[in-house]
Amino acid sequence: MSAEDWGALSLVLLGFGLLCSLPAWTAAGRRIWAPATLVVLAGAAVVAAVPDPVALDGRALTTVLIGVGGALAISGGGPPTALVFDLVDQRESPADSLGQSLDLAGHVLRGGAWIGALERVAIFATLVAGWPEGLAVVLAVKGLGRYPELRAAEDGVRSGAAERFIIGTFTSVLWACACAGVVLLLLR
């Protein structure tokens, strides 16, 4: 295979990952399509990393690559985060106060899906632009923005909001970094 073929294969895998991520936004599809999207993203990473010369011909393909990678970072990151929450909520017994508090924390931290999408696009953009310090800026802005809600939720009652915030942030950030990593492997 030529370097261009490897690049095209990686781009096709990213596009397929984007398509897999869309049905993962439903509760029923999350258990099947979120892991499938992760597997396709891992496959794209392997295809991008294994051969030494990987090439994309022209600016148009580079633009498509960044667009598809960014779209996958945005749309693909929500379902795995929700799946991780499902797994955490499932592992905690209903009689356990932390299990109940993690469910309640979802109500305290409203707008999490939108904030997560904006967070992922900002992280993807800063990493692809070659400014990794932007990751710290994005996380600082998110932490400062959520601080009043987290503080109010933790005053007097154990709500689990802080734990949910950390779990969601880590999952979302790791997804955006993985998408940016695949794009950067192809742009090297």
Of 181, 105, 117, give the one whose Cα is nearest residue 149. Answer: 105
Residues 180, 85 contacting (CB under 8 angstroms): no
Instruction: List the structure tokens of 147.
Output: 């601080």
Q: What is the pLDDT of residues 119-140, one digit of tens each?
A: 999 999 999 999 999 999 999 9
Q: Is the pTM of this model over 0.95?
A: no
Domain residue ranges in the chain: 3-187
Gap between the Cα atoms of 179 and 169, Å rounded: 15
CA distance 65 to 69: 6
pLDDT over 80 at 107, yes or no: no
Mean pLDDT confidence for 60-87: 92
What was the pLDDT predicted at 56? 79
Can you tell me which residue has the tokens 């022209």? 58
pLDDT at position 10 over 80: yes
